[in-house]
Amino acid sequence: MAYALEDEFGDIIGKARRGQNLPPSEIATAAGITEAELARMEQYTLKPTETQVHRLAEILNLDGTKLLDIATEQWEPEPPQQISDSDLEVITISAPVGGWPVNAYILICQATNDAAIVDTAAHPDLILEQVDAHNVNPTAILLTHAHSDHTDGLPKIQTATGCETYIHTNEPKPQSETRLREVAHGDTLTVGQLTVTVVNTPGHTPGGCSFIAQNVVFVGDAIFAGSVGGPNISLQDEIDSVRDNLLSLPDAVRLFPGHGPSTTVGEEKAQNPFF
Ligand SMILES: [Fe+2]
């Protein structure tokens, strides 16, 4: 697939299994496969049959039809259309960390050229290069969560831009040059003439949050196209908060995740096997 998803079938069933604390032996028996076959499916070295996908989906509380579309590589999100009359622009910076691409973003208010830097992707120089290349004025740094692949290099960006940094009050705090500004669900901040609203999306981390600006949302590792972030804290919290605070938005709203391609609320409701 030219526009590859962050998670494959094996990642999805692994996250669903671990998030629900289901023993591999129990899942394998219920699905009519061996534990070794389950492990190989999670490691992408064994392709499941259609029947096995549906059985595993049922055991893991996933949507079988949506899971099959991903297992057979029948779906990927539509690439974003250029919106010429939009009040905002989003620049994506995708950079490898430990061999895997991580996304950071620059949200630009078209009316004022003020901008917010969303996460660091552990590549502060790349972000600062893009700030210069687009000739924007950064006024805030927004952190979706504190994992190092999303926050390393923060002090360098803080020093270069002089911006305040916003992070959820329940989130562990990364290394910072300045006192972090703590935010909570429902708080708003401004970037030029844009209003950015904070919503809770915990589960991957304790204080994971998303930032909504008009028709775009920066979701960190709460949801990926066709999957969710690793449920380190609680899969149920992750599913509940994404459903209530993100998938309740209009279908056309575009979600920008910490890994993998952007997607929309409508596409995730139609294709994400966790929902
Ligand atoms: Fe993360």
The CATH number for 110's domain is 3.60.15.10
Residues 201 and 65 occupy one common structural domain? no
Same domain assignment for residues 137 and 179 = yes
Residue where a domain terminates, one of 71, 106, 122:
71
Mean pLDDT of 189-200: 98
Q: Would 1 be classed as within a structural domain? A: no
Task: Please tell me the distance between residue 235's alpha carbon and the centre of ligand 1 in angstroms.
Answer: 14
Cα-to-centroid distance, 151 and ligand 1 (Å): 10
CA of 21 to the centre of ligand 1 (A): 20
**22: in domain:** yes
Does residue 197 register a pLDDT over 90? yes
Whether residue 20 is found in the same domain as residue 106: no
Residue 81 domain-assigned? no
For the chain, the domain total comes to 2
Q: How far apart are CA 124 and CA 230, in angstroms?
A: 24
Output the CA 233–ligand 1 centroid distance in Å: 11
* Domain stop point among 26, 45, 71: 71
Res. 80 pLDDT band, cuts 50 70 90: confident
**134 and 64 assigned to the same domain:** no
Cα of 147 vs centre of ligand 1, distance in Å, is: 5
Domain span at residue 108 reads: 89-271
- Is the full-model pTM beyond 0.85? yes
- Tell me if 163 is assigned to some domain: yes
Same domain assignment for residues 24 and 60 = yes
Cα three-residue angle 228-234-236, rounded to 5 degrees? 75
Say yes or no: 254 and 146 in one domain.
Answer: yes
- pLDDT of 1 reads 42
| Per-residue pLDDT tens over the stretch 44-73 | 999 999 999 999 999 999 999 999 999 999
Distance 49 CA to ligand 1 centre (A): 31
Cα of 84 vs centre of ligand 1, distance in Å, is: 32
Tell me whether residue 84 is in a domain: no
* pLDDT value at residue 85: 63
Average pLDDT, integer, range 135-162: 98
Average pLDDT, the chain: 96
Q: Clarify whether residues 34 and 160 are in a common domain.
A: no
At 223-244, the pLDDT tens digits run 999 999 999 999 999 999 999 9
Question: Does position 219 have pLDDT exceeding 70, yes or no?
Answer: yes
Same domain for 97 and 206, yes or no, is yes
Tell me the per-residue pLDDT of 95-121, one tens digit each, with 9 for 90 and over: 999 989 999 999 999 999 999 999 999
Q: How many CB atoms lie within 10 A of CB 177?
A: 13
Residue 218 belongs to some domain of the structure: yes
Listed residue (32, 34, 77) closest to 53, CA to CA: 32
Residues 57 and 165 in one domain: no
Q: How far is CA 155 from the centre of its chain?
A: 23
Domain end position, chosen among 37, 71, 105: 71
Name the residues around ion ligand 1, CB cutoff 5 A. Answer: 147, 221
pLDDT of residue 190: 98
What tokens appear for 44 in the block? 């992408």
What average pLDDT does range 115-134 have in this prediction? 97
Tens-place pLDDT, residues 243-256: 999 999 999 999 99
Q: What is the CATH number of the domain that holds 36?
A: 1.10.260.40
CA–centroid distance, residue 62 to ligand 1 (Å): 22
| For range 13-32, the mean pLDDT | 96
* Same structural domain, 178 and 248: yes
Which residues are CB-neighbours of 158 under 8 A, at least 6 positions away?
141, 165, 176, 177, 178
- Same domain for 66 and 94? no
**Ligand 1 mean position, distance from CA 11 (Å):** 15
- Determine, yes or no, domain membership for 77: no
In a shared domain, residues 64 and 94 = no
**Is 78 inside a domain boundary?**
no
pLDDT higher than 60, residue 263 = yes
Cα(41) to centroid(ligand 1), Å: 23
Percent of the chain with pLDDT over 90: 94
Cα of 32 from ligand 1 centre, angstroms: 33
The helices-and-strands tally (H runs, E runs) of the chain is 10, 14
